[in-house]
């Protein structure tokens, strides 16, 4: 089913496995789909400072994280489709990946600026310094199930394992 007017950059299942969310940078929209993919929600967040190339959903399906045009991250209420925090600022280039921790309390972002950042989802604050080490854009990041470690992959063909407590790899 066609709903976007351009390249679909990301798609995620909502935890209930009855809905998916798709993101398109070209038409600056995200779409919510039912499991049968027949209808999309017209009240989904659109435009503004969001480019919607990357999308992640919290494990409890309450918060959606998207990238912004200006290297920021936006957090949205998944039911009300409203922004729920200030833009998360810190990266100096495009966001390439977003991933929530399994408890939903933290978010990791990877960027073209070759860094990762950890965020407190409740406050919107950056946790510690940016994680540096990759020589290319960071395009993949995921938390371990206990949240202690973070694995990241980069355009430089490297994979790092980070200790989220110390920031070392």
Q: Residue 2: its pLDDT value, please?
A: 57
pLDDT per residue over 33-53, tens digit each? Answer: 776 654 454 445 554 445 567
SS3 category, 78: coil
pLDDT at 93 over 80: yes
Would you say how long the chain is, in residues?
A: 169
- Model pTM above 0.85: no
Q: Is 130 exposed, middle or buried (0-12, 13-18, 19+ CB in 10 A)?
A: middle
> Is beta strand 159-163 parallel, antiparallel or unpaired with respect to 115-120?
unpaired
């Amino acid at each position: 089913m066609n709903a976007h007017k351009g390249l679909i950059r990301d798609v995620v299942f909502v935890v209930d496995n009855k809905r998916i969310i798709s993101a398109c940078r070209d038409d600056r929209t995200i779409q919510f789909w039912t499991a049968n993919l027949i209808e999309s929600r017209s009240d989904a967040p659109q435009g503004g400072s969001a480019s919607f190339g990357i999308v992640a959903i919290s494990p409890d399906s309450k918060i959606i994280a998207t990238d912004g045009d200006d290297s920021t991250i936006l957090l949205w209420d998944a039911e009300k489709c409203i922004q729920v925090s200030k833009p998360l600022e810190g990266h100096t280039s495009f966001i390439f990946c977003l991933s929530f921790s399994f408890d939903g309390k933290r978010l990791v972002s990877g960027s073209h600026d070759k860094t990762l950042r950890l965020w407190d989802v409740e406050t919107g604050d950056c946790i510690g310094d940016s994680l540096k080490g990759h020589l290319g854009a960071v395009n993949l990041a995921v938390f371990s199930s206990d949240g202690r470690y973070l694995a990241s992959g980069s355009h430089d063909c490297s994979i790092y394992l980070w200790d989220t407590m110390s920031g070392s790899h």
